């Protein structure tokens, strides 16, 4: 299955060439199957679960709904790009510490979404957090420990206050 489609994507700061792709491939497919970045997950193919969340030009979007070949010229950031030096971000550490990870399938999408939220709004209140994450479905945790993790990050970043 090849249509001699060649294009370049900028992913986590690097220029990545995509060759021999079928025109209908989503960015999710290209990241996972062609660029060796399987962190984003597919669970619904229609933007209803957020497991595939990546950041494009500073906006958190569902990569399953992005036609890969149309994402040229944009800055794409995935979960893998959060800590190229191998350390954990405070969001990632909080997810572990607060028990917000069970099966982990929703986790990369949520981590990216939380980073995106706090980038835009460093002091979200409880309802703002919930609304910002309302596009990320978790089937295991019931969200309680996820909220606890986000609260911890917000508190730590603001020296103990919200």
Partner 1 sequence: MSVLTPTTISDAAASLAAHPDAQILSGGTDFMVEVNFNHRKPSTVVALGGIEELRRWSNDGTSVFIGAGVTWQDIETGPISALLPALAEAARTVGSPQIRAAGTIGGNLGTCSPAGDGLPVLAALECNIHLVSPRGERIVPFADFMVGPKRNSRAADEIITGVTVPVPDGYQGYAKVGVRNAMVISIASACLVIHDNKVRVALGSVGPTIIRATGAEQWLDQMQAVPGRAVSPAVAAEFGRRVADEARPIDDHRSTADYRRHAISVITRRLLERSAQS
Partner 2 sequence: MSSVATRRDTLGANALRPDGIAKVRGEFGFTGDLWHDGMLWGATLRSPHPHARIISIDTTPALLIPGVTAVVTARDVPGQMNYGLIAEDQPVFASDVVRYMGEPVAAVAADHPETCRRALAAIVVEYEVLAPLWDPERAIDGSAEPIHPDGNVFRTQKIVHGDPNARGEVTVEGEYVIGMQDQAFLGTEAALAIPDHDGGGVEVYVATQWLHEDQKQMAKCLNLPAEKVRLTLGGVGGAFGGREDLSLQVHTALLALHTGRPVKMQYGREESFFGHIHRHPAKVWMRHHARRDGTIVNIEARFVFDGGAYASTSSAVLLNGITHTQGPYKCPNASVIGHAVRTNNPPCGAMRGFGVVQACYAHESQMDKLAAALGMSPVDIRVKNAMETGDVMITGQVMDSVAPVVDCIRQTDAIPLPPDMPADPHELELPGGSGLTSDRRHIKRGIGWGVSIKNIMYSEGFDDFSTARCRLSDGVVTLKFATSEVGQGFVTLAPQIARTVLGVDDVIIDTIDTGVGSAGSTSASRQTWMSGGAVKGACMLVQQKLLEHVAREHSVDASSLSVVDTEIVNSAGTLRISVADATRGVSFDETYEHHHRPTEDLDENGQGDCHVAFAFVAHRAVVDVDEELGLVKVVQIATAQDVGVALNPLSVIGQIEGGIAQGLGLAVMEEIIVTEGRVRNPSFTDYLLPTTLDAPVVEARMIEQFEPLSPLGAKGVGEPPCISVTPAIANAIRNATGRVIDRVPVRPQDICL
Site string for partner 2, 97-136 (x = CB under 8 A): x-x-xxxxxxxx--x---------------x-xxx-xxxx
Among 29, 149, 36, 160, smallest CA distance to 95 is for 149
Site string for partner 2, 130-149 (x = CB under 8 A): xx-xxxxxxxxxxxxxxx--
Does 150 help bind partner 1 (rule: CB under 8 A)? no
Q: Which does 153 bind (CB under 5 to 8 A by kind): partner 2, partner 1, none?
A: none
Question: CA 33 → CA 15, 28, 58, 99, 132, distances in Å?
Answer: 17, 8, 24, 30, 29
Does 15 help bind partner 1 (rule: CB under 8 A)? no
Question: Is 3 in contact with 23 (CB distance < 8 Å)?
Answer: yes
- Number of Cβ within a 10 Å radius of residue 129: 19
How far apart are the C-alpha atoms of 87 and 93, rounded to whole Å?
9
Binding test (CB under 8 A) with partner 2, winner from 96, 123, 156, 162: 96
Question: Is 40 in contact with 54 (CB distance < 8 Å)?
Answer: yes
Binding footprint of partner 2 on the chain (CB under 8 A): 1, 22, 24, 29, 32, 38-46, 48-49, 51, 78-80, 82-83, 88, 92-93, 95-97, 99, 101-108, 111, 127, 129-131, 133-147
């Amino acid at each position: 299955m090849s249509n001699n489609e060649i294009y370049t994507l900028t992913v986590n700061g690097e220029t990545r060439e995509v060759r021999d792709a079928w025109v209908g491939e989503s960015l999710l497919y290209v990241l996972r199957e062609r660029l060796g970045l399987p962190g984003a997950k597919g669970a619904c193919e229609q933007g209803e679960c957020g497991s595939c969340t990546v950041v494009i030009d500073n906006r958190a979007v569902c990569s399953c709904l992005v036609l890969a070949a149309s994402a040229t010229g944009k800055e794409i950031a995935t979960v893998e790009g959060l800590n190229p030096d191998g350390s954990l971000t405070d969001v990632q550490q909080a997810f572990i510490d607060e028990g917000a990870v069970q099966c982990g399938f929703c986790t990369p999408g949520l981590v990216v979404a939380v980073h995106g939220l706090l980038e835009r709004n460093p002091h979200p209140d409880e309802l703002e957090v919930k609304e910002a994450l309302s596009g990320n479905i978790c089937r295991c945790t019931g969200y309680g420990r996820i909220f606890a993790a986000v609260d911890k990050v917000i508190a730590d970043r603001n020296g103990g206050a919200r």
